[in-house]
């Protein structure tokens, strides 16, 4: 098993709170890896450390053997690690097409000056990128939304466009932060289908953060479980599902939330 991404002994605290403690996870190339856990388990913190929004206090993150622990988000994006956000983060004033084209930003080479000098080259480049974006539009079945401002789209469709924008980067690794959050059952199944298709068609490694175990267990090759900042289990979905520590974490959460609300 060759790991495309190694998270090695990573810790991060905010103020006095240990959000993530000594977490190590190897992400195998070409697999769908889910990181699950109750609220406040540190899942999003891990994701934010991979994409460079936070830097770990301790530990290292290696992408194909290269240390990316302290790179800025834009530098990590340039290494073809794409992500979506928990709360949809499309550029709402822009069209679906503009959003997807922005997803290809790091792949576009010609700058302002050179695009004036080599007009033809820039045009040709633009056409090639547009072609790829059109393929994604077909893939996600959003052909009739091209020119629509994203702010006007329904929730499920916006999630789909955001997935498309991340895919436009031609990512080696796709980070999805609760891609099914707030969706109804049908939308969840659609999204699960797209995730599986992406993985199958382009061999993209996918790291998925989810709150509830449901659909995730069906589509993941491997699952890591976090609780209170610690990794409490890792393995194939069937192994993790019956792991006593995992069961306890999820049941425990129910109890504490009952206490909190009561």
Partner 1 sequence: MLEALDLQFTILLLSNGVMIGLMYSLIALGFVLVYKATDAVNFAQGEFVMIAGFVAVGALTVAGIPLWLSILAALVAMVGFGFALERVMLRKLIGRPIIAVVMATIGLAAILRGLGPFGIFQGTRPLPLPLRDEPFILGPLFIPPIQLLGGIVSLVFLAGFGYFFLKSRKGVAMRAVADNQQVAMAMGIDVERYFGLAWAMTGVVSALGGVLWGNMLGVDVNLALVGFKVFPVVILGGLDSIPGAIIGGLIVGLVENLAAGYIDPYVGGGTKDFAPYVLMILALMIRPYGIFGKRIIERV
Answer yes or no whether residue 132 interacts with partner 1 by CB under 8 A. no
Q: How far is the CB of 91 from partner 1 (least distance, A)?
A: 4
Own/partner contacts of 246-250, CB < 8 Å, gap of 24 or more, are 249/37, 249/38, 249/41, 249/225, 250/38, 250/213
Q: Which is nearer to partner 1, 38 or 164 (CB)?
A: 164
Among 89, 117, 128, 247, binds partner 1 (CB under 8 A): 89
C-beta separation of 152 from 144 below 8 A: no
Answer yes or no whether residue 118 interacts with partner 1 by CB under 8 A. no
Q: Which is nearer to partner 1, 33 or 175 (CB)?
A: 175
In whole angstroms, give the CA distance from residue 104 to residue 100: 7
Answer yes or no whether residue 179 interacts with partner 1 by CB under 8 A. no
126-158 burial code (b ≥16 CB/10 A, e <16):
eeebeebbeebbebbebeebeeebbeebeebbb
Answer yes or no whether residue 123 interacts with partner 1 by CB under 8 A. no
Q: Considering only the stretches 27-35, 54-62, 68-76, 190-198, report the one whose residues sit in contact with partner 1 under the rule CB under 8 A.
A: 68-76
HSE-CB at 141 with a 13 A cutoff on CA atoms is 7
In whole angstroms, give the CA distance from residue 67 to residue 61: 6
CB-based contacts of 101, cutoff 8 Å, min separation 6: 129, 130, 133, 168
Answer yes or no whether residue 83 interacts with partner 1 by CB under 8 A. yes
Query: CA geometry: angle at 104 spanning 158 and 114, to 5°?
Result: 145
Among 105, 141, 193, 248, binds partner 1 (CB under 8 A): 105
Among 165, 172, 188, 222, binds partner 1 (CB under 8 A): 165
In whole angstroms, give the CA distance from residue 96 to residue 98: 6
Q: Considering only the stretches 45-53, 56-64, 222-230, 253-261, report the one whose residues sit in contact with partner 1 under the rule CB under 8 A.
A: 45-53
In whole angstroms, give the CA distance from residue 134 to residue 261: 48
> Does residue 216 sit in helix, strand or coil?
helix
Q: Which is nearer to partner 1, 94 or 196 (CB)?
A: 94
Answer yes or no whether residue 92 interacts with partner 1 by CB under 8 A. yes
Among 82, 157, 173, 232, binds partner 1 (CB under 8 A): 82
Length of the chain: 262
Q: Which is nearer to partner 1, 81 or 226 (CB)?
A: 81
Answer yes or no whether residue 112 interacts with partner 1 by CB under 8 A. yes
Among 3, 8, 94, 196, binds partner 1 (CB under 8 A): 94
* Interacting residues toward partner 1 by CB under 8 A: 51-53, 72-74, 77-78, 82-83, 85, 89-94, 98, 101-103, 105-106, 108, 112, 115, 126, 165, 169
């Amino acid at each position: 098993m060759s790991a495309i991404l190694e998270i090695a002994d990573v810790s991060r605290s905010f103020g006095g709170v240990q959000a993530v403690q000594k977490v190590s996870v190897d992400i195998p190339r070409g697999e769908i890896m889910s990181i699950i856990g109750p609220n406040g388990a540190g899942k999003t913190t891990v994701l934010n450390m991979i994409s460079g929004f936070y830097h770990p206090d301790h530990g290292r993150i290696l992408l194909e053997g290269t240390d990316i622990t302290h790179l800025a988000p834009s530098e990590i994006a340039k290494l073809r690690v794409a992500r979506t956000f928990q709360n949809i983060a499309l550029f709402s004033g822009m069209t679906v097409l503009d959003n997807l084209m922005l997803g290809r930003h790091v792949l576009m080479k010609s700058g302002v000056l050179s695009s004036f000098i080599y007009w033809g080259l820039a045009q040709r480049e633009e056409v090639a990128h547009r072609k790829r974006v059109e393929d994604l539009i077909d893939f996600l079945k959003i052909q009739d939304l091209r020119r629509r401002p994203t702010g006007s789209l329904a929730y499920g469709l916006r999630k789909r466009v955001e997935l498309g924008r991340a895919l436009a980067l031609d990512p080696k690794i796709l980070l999805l932060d609760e891609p099914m959050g707030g969706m109804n059952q049908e939308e969840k199944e659609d999204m699960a289908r797209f995730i599986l298709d992406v993985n199958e068609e382009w061999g993209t490694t996918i790291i998925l953060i989810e709150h509830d175990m449901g659909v995730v267990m069906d589509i993941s090759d491997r699952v890591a479980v976090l609780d209170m900042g610690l990794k409490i289990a890792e393995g194939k979905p069937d192994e993790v599902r019956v792991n006593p520590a995992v069961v306890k974490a999820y049941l425990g959460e129910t109890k504490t939330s009952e206490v909190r609300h009561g």
